[in-house]
Amino acid sequence: MGFKMGIVGLPNVGKSTLFNALTRTAAAQAANFPFCTIEPNVGEVAVPDARLDKLAAIAGSKQIIPTRMTFVDIAGLVKGASKGEGLGNQFLANIREVDAIAHVLRCFEDGDVTHVEGRVDPVADAEVIETELMLADLDSIEKRRAGLVRKLKSGDKEAVQADRLLALAQAVLEEGKPARTVEIDDDDLKAWKMLQLLTSKPVLYVCNVEESNAAEGNAHSAAVAEMAAAEGAGSVVISAQIEEEISQLEPEDAFVFLEEMGLEEAGLDRLIRAGYELLHLETYFTVGPKEARAWTIQSGTPAPKAAGVIHGDFEKGFIRAETIAYEDFVSLGGEQKAKDAGKMRAEGKAYVVKDGDVLHFLFNT
């Protein structure tokens, strides 16, 4: 699996320009007026990982298959969306379907690009969207708790659990805090996720700055970073303009362009890495002469569940995982040499897969 990130923001903050650049398509119309993105545009990108190329070179793999990340460009939000203003209802429904929210904030000054509120204040913009999502969650919670009354009277266990979790979320929301601030026990995690509360989604703030500030950011992005740190959210600085220019270049030319701009890597790479950290994701690899492939898992995933990412039968019939650490595979020159050096391990069902593991699964059909 990769993961699905919804790109949200007020109108005219550069999110559709960013989406176009990141997915190297013109699927989203970038225009200087609100609501130019009517339907959520979906684009997939390969997750860059230099380790995969190195593994493929050592193994002589004919094909390289990276893991993928899905971006969903969601219609611009305005104040009052929780009450259906603008494209509010559609916007809110689309957010429920993503794993995390990349909240694009305007951190650039440009008199030619209209701001829906007539000012540049990314922290205030963030508060507008957060407020709308919290109001929508509160409205949803009230309706859902009212709908549970009959089941609660009959002692339905699932209803009791759902009502308890909804009450916890309602309490923090009424204090002006998002649902993601609620501490959830492991036993309640599955039920909590099923509630699909908008403010329970992890948030990554994407500071869209001018080209000249792409390397270091500016005062606006610094204020966002401070806000993100206080919330326990992530933040990343990107210039949508630069990303758009890079998307039109060949890889070699893009590398030179980035160097000239004083950037070590493209914004896409920084955005994906920040997203992985936000969602506690890791990568393992399968490597052979036919293909070298990357797979995304949640950190702390046991071997059978990691195998299930490839195919459900791998998880059901799991016997063991033959495991080589990435560093050993590379330093020793491949699978056979790592095996000869005693660096291949046979791991059972309790083994927790580590980032960079090169795995081969044995299973019963």
Q: Is 78 annotated as a binding residue?
A: no
16 is in an annotated binding site: yes
Dihedrals phi, psi of 227, to nearest 5 degrees: -65, -45
Q: Quick count: other Cβ atoms within 10 Å of Cβ 112?
A: 5
Q: Is 143 within any annotated ligand binding site?
A: no
Which positions ≥6 away from 245 have C-beta within 8 Å?
257
Nearest to 306 by CA among 343, 361, 356: 361
| Dihedral in degrees, nearest 10, Cα atoms 55, 58, 61, 67 | 10
The verdict on whether residue 17 carries a ligand-binding annotation is yes
Count of all residues that appear for the chain in the document: 365
Q: Taking the alpha carbons of 242, 244, 245, 247 in that order, is the dihedral positive or negative?
A: positive
Number of Cα atoms under 13 Å in the Cβ half of residue 224? 29
Integer CA distances (angstroms), 91 to 41, 80, 81, 96, 206, in order: 12, 12, 8, 9, 18
Nearest to 281 by CA among 292, 294, 290, 265: 294
CA dist., res. 314 & res. 305, Å (int):
9
Please indicate if the annotation marks 212 as binding a ligand.
no
Tell me whether residue 14 is annotated as binding. Answer: yes
Instruction: Specify the amino acid at residue 14.
Output: G
Distance CA 357, CA 56 (A): 14
User: CB burial class (10 A; 0-12, 13-18, 19+) of residue 117?
Assistant: middle
Q: How far apart are CA 123 and CA 101, in angstroms?
A: 16
- Name every residue whose Cβ is closer than 8 Å to that of residue 357 and which is 6 or more positions away in sequence: 284, 285, 323, 324, 325, 326
Of the candidates 117, 110, 172, which has an alpha carbon nearest to the alpha carbon of residue 141? Answer: 172
| Residues annotated within a binding site | 12-17
| Residues annotated within a binding site for ATP | 12-17
